[in-house]
Chains A and B, each alone.
Chain A
């Protein structure tokens, strides 16, 4: 048995034997993603994208309180993932998604440490952890989560957050002066109409894989200087849920810009069934036509029971900065106590 096989077995045994009971103020969720599909370019595949692979994992969420109320929140969410496109020795890794502790400084004020969403765009206000459709974050910033520190507060009728992170994404490393500063101010998440304005400044690294362990290679040893401004919104539109965001700025002096629009519809007679349509555009160089990506993606979601969801998605590249592709994906997602 190889080291990787042994690790998986130990991980699985720990995973199964972890306590299933629910204790006050903490929840332990188990998670599994089984995904496969067919691509014009790569034939039978697991998803080559960075965030969804066949994986098993867990989320442990806990609130700590004393007589005066909650003072600390802890969230750890990790997956053991398998990438079918890699050689067997390199195909397994541990993805640490959330790994943060948030300390309350008062009602409406908190400071957060660890691995969490940069404060930019829709990503920090949406849960895309297990969904086929993603926000602009991976195209725009290069990753969905990063290591660092953040402060959250209330400013009149608005919520705001500022974050200082190391610019490396999933892996824990700093190289070539990497860093990431982000901030977002927006209407409260309880509003029917939600809007946000975000800013970003930093030098980020790009990894070849989305593992945290083992640390994956960098695509380039050089960090990319990024500046961005972004807007985002969520609102109902008749019977549809509308989500949209746009961001623009530059990467090492090249103008970059993009946007995402997503419409969701719940079938009234069969509410376990949702139909979504997303258009995502991103250009890594506004003056260069070959640097643009435009993908249309209709997705059908069916909630099998309270813990399991089946998703079927079709991703059609209208433009692509690499080879244009047409991809069908089928995903079974489990998330339960």
Chain B
């Protein structure tokens, strides 16, 4: 009897073993966060979106090109459902709240952005950060520097010149935060803003190519 049951369990497991999927980054208490971030909000709509359903491997490649880095298979898997909270004032969309998981120096981080309908950052906070310097990272002095930025700023400029590292000891968590926020904005652009910032990315790419050609001449 026991063998038969184990056999069934193994069949079931073999059917699911290829469906590697992570649990994405969801808000622990969306009602409280959205009430705090959007004083005019009346409610919100939750949606779960994966890279797999929106474009699969091709989209992974595109995201990696824009991010200038590879996605990490455990925490950034193609199946990870990203939770999007569309913030409403009655029926009108007044913003979005969306988070990502990001590998930090001492463990996983959860980086949450509140953006307006055009993708401009209204607020940024860590839902989770494991670091002996977490206070410095959570400090408003650091997080408020992101307010007003859009994905265009990450595409056009060296963002490290705009945002100062709160840690004197190392830059790893700081750089991980910048990477995570850029990834968050790229995904937001792909999933909700219909690639509004693509023209900036490709114009910048063309500009760099032209510069290289001129240098070679």
Whether the Cβ atoms of B74 and A108 lie closer than 8 Å is no
Known: A104-B43, A108-B31, A271-B107. A306 touches B75 (CB 8 A): yes
A239 touches which of B9, B53, B106 (Cβ 8 Å): B106
Query: Which residues of chain B are within 8 angstroms of A279 by Cβ–Cβ distance?
Result: none
Query: Which residues of chain B are within 8 angstroms of A107 by Cβ–Cβ distance?
Result: 31, 34-35, 41-44
Known: A188-B29, A336-B19. A70 touches B46 (CB 8 A): yes
A320 at the interface (CB under 8 A from B): no
Q: How far is the CA of A25 from the CA of B5 in the complex (A)?
A: 34
A190 touches which of B28, B91, B106 (Cβ 8 Å): B28
Q: How far is the CA of A241 from the CA of B130 in the complex (A)?
A: 8
Query: Which residues of chain B are within 8 angstroms of A109 by Cβ–Cβ distance?
Result: 31
Nearest-neighbour CB distance to chain A for B171, whole angstroms, equals: 15
Known: A24-B47, A68-B90. A189 touches B28 (CB 8 A): yes
Query: Which residues of chain B are within 8 angstroms of A335 by Cβ–Cβ distance?
Result: 23
Q: How far is the CA of A332 from the CA of B52 in the complex (A)?
A: 26
Number of A-B contacts (CB under 8 A): 153
Contact flags A15-31 to B (C-beta < 8 A → 1, else 0) = 11000111011110110
B22 at the interface (CB under 8 A from A): yes
What count of chain A residues pass the 8 Å CB interface test?
A: 57
Nearest-neighbour CB distance to chain A for B86, whole angstroms, equals: 8
Known: A69-B43, A306-B21, A306-B79. A15 touches B12 (CB 8 A): yes
A56 touches which of B9, B23, B31, B32 (Cβ 8 Å): B9
Query: Which residues of chain B are within 8 angstroms of A266 by Cβ–Cβ distance?
Result: 106-108, 130
B32 touches which of A65, A92, A159 (Cβ 8 Å): A159
Q: Which residue of A lies closest to B16 (CB)?
A: A30
Whether the Cβ atoms of B81 and A22 lie closer than 8 Å is yes
Q: Which residue of B lies closest to A272 (CB)?
A: B74
Whether the Cβ atoms of B20 and A336 lie closer than 8 Å is yes
A197 at the interface (CB under 8 A from B): no
Query: Which residues of chain B are within 8 angstroms of A92 by Cβ–Cβ distance?
Result: 5
Whether the Cβ atoms of B44 and A271 lie closer than 8 Å is no
Known: A12-B11, A24-B48, A306-B22. A334 touches B130 (CB 8 A): no
B165 at the interface (CB under 8 A from A): no
Query: Which residues of chain B are within 8 angstroms of A219 by Cβ–Cβ distance?
Result: none
Q: Which residue of A lies closest to B52 (CB)?
A: A22
Nearest-neighbour CB distance to chain B for A210, whole angstroms, equals: 18
Other than the given A107-B44, A268-B106, 12 more pairs (CB < 8 A) read: A12-B8, A12-B12, A20-B19, A22-B52, A22-B81, A24-B47, A34-B9, A65-B45, A68-B42, A154-B35, A271-B107, A306-B79
10 closest Cβ contacts across the A-B interface?
A: A69-B43, A306-B22, A337-B21, A189-B28, A266-B107, A336-B21, A306-B77, A108-B31, A63-B46, A65-B45
